[in-house]
Amino acid sequence: MLVRVKHLYILGSLCLSFHLPVMFALDSGINVSSDAKAFYLTSLMYQKGRQKLPKDVQLAHHYLVLASQSGYRDAQVQLGLDYLNTSKPSHNEVEARYWLEKASQQGDALAQFTLAMLYQEGRGGNTRLREAITLLQASAKQGYLPAYTALGMSYASGKGVSPDLRQAFRYYKFAASHGQKVAQFKLGLMHQTGLGTSRDAVQGLAWLMLAEDGGFRKAKPFREKLEAQSSTEATQKARALKTTLTPSRSKYRKL
């Protein structure tokens, strides 16, 4: 598709950093072929006010839309997230859903996860629980860890799938072992109560400690209650165990 470029933009050194050809589009009235990535980079420059371009939110949005319409996946993801931002005047969950669907169809893990959340909550359209599970599974297969936590929550609650606490435990365990704080908290509770796994107060306390240390504040009252119910020896064992539960650095793609 041909477009008439009315604004001077220079990709210059930014293009070089992306190993792209240096490209100039001049205000000369000529028609140039649509370059989706150029539109996207131009949007970033207007957003940040770089490469001699003024900071201009409206123009940044304009070029982001052009890039998205041209099929550039990263732009579609960013546009969808922008539409979800309640602090922006462009907030529109219907549009967010539309563009995240486009990016999800191109296999973007973040878009798949975010769209799944919209489907589960019925935001921007109808609730689609089964489709949400499919999206979460696709996102998880690409190694997107929040998708594992969300799958654990889905199996624990039976949202879009038959309730299965053992499966929920497996997803939580994988996400927790890779540093997901919510999953660490959920795993701690499952060990504490014996739901989906054998009851183990030491394991439960260790995971709750780890979640709290990572900044998950909701874990604190549960950790304090369990610690008060535990012996000094059990608490010491939990603290020692916690040091061995350092999140894995390896890049697993699936369970």
Write out pLDDT tens, residues 163-176. Answer: 999 999 999 999 99
Please give the pLDDT value at position 254.
Answer: 57
Q: How confident is the model at residue 21 (pLDDT cuts 50, 70, 90)?
A: very low
Write out pLDDT tens, residues 55-102. Answer: 999 999 999 999 999 999 999 999 999 999 988 888 999 999 999 999
User: What is the pTM assigned to this prediction?
Assistant: 0.82
Q: CB-hemisphere CA count at 13 Å for 13?
A: 3
User: Could you give the CA distance from residue 114 to residue 149 in angstroms, rounded to a whole number?
Assistant: 13
Helix, strand or coil for residue 3?
Answer: strand
Closest alpha carbon to 112 in 121, 126, 101: 101
Q: How confident is the model at residue 28 (pLDDT cuts 50, 70, 90)?
A: very low
Q: Is residue 128 packed enough to be buried (19+ CB in 10 Å), middle (13-18) or exposed (0-12)?
A: middle
Domain locations in the chain as residue ranges: 1-70
Write out pLDDT tens, residues 210-222. Answer: 999 999 999 999 9
Please give the pLDDT value at position 35.
Answer: 83
Average pLDDT, integer, range 189-208: 97
Q: How confident is the model at residue 34 (pLDDT cuts 50, 70, 90)?
A: low
Question: Residue 231, Cβ neighbours under 10 Å: how many?
Answer: 9
| β-pair type (2-4, 31-33) | antiparallel
Q: Which two tokens stand for residue 252?
A: 């697993």
- pLDDT of 29 over the 70 cut: no
Average pLDDT, integer, range 178-198: 97
Q: How confident is the model at residue 185 (pLDDT cuts 50, 70, 90)?
A: very high
